Amino acid sequence: MLKQVSIYAENVKGKMLEITSILAKEDINILGSVTNDSAEYGIVRMVVSDPEKACKVLSGHHIICKLTDVLAVEVKDEVGNLNMLLQALNDANINVDYLYLSYNRESGCPIMVLHTSDAGEVENSLRSKGFSLC
């Protein structure tokens, strides 16, 4: 199970640059990210090399953030593999709140980062079905 940094950012010019600049200055690598926006605020979800430090330094710059448990499932870069993962979750009656793509630099495989209501239970279910979790 991974910790994701969920950042609540005002939807203004330069805000993402501010966030990435803070992380870069602190030597925190962004491993995967997705942004959902609205007219005034957006939610930036990131898997980073040091989530606790990222949350601390961002908070120190008055950027609202929190840590969230997510799962990272390695899938081969082949047609239908995301579908197989989602089918396995559906068969286990598990709802996926959101997902986004990252990349395992060691194995060279894509990683699907996903959020569900009970990450621990879902992790066990996926392992029992033969999926590789990071």
Evaluate the CA torsion angle 71, 72, 73, 79 in order and state its sign.
positive
pLDDT tens digits, one per residue of 14-57:
999 999 999 999 999 999 999 887 778 889 999 999 999 999 99
Cβ-contact 32, 103 below 8 angstroms: yes
Helical segments of the chain, H only = 15-25, 51-60, 81-91, 119-128
* Domain range list for the chain: 2-68, 70-133
Indicate the pTM of the whole model: 0.84
Q: What percent of the chain has pLDDT over 70?
A: 100
Domain 70-133 adopts which CATH fold? Answer: VC0802-like (3.30.2130)
**What is the domain class of 2-68 according to CATH?**
alpha beta
In angstroms, rounded to a whole number, what is the distance separating the alpha carbons of residues 116 and 52?
Answer: 21
Task: Tell me if 2-68 shares its fold with 70-133.
Answer: yes
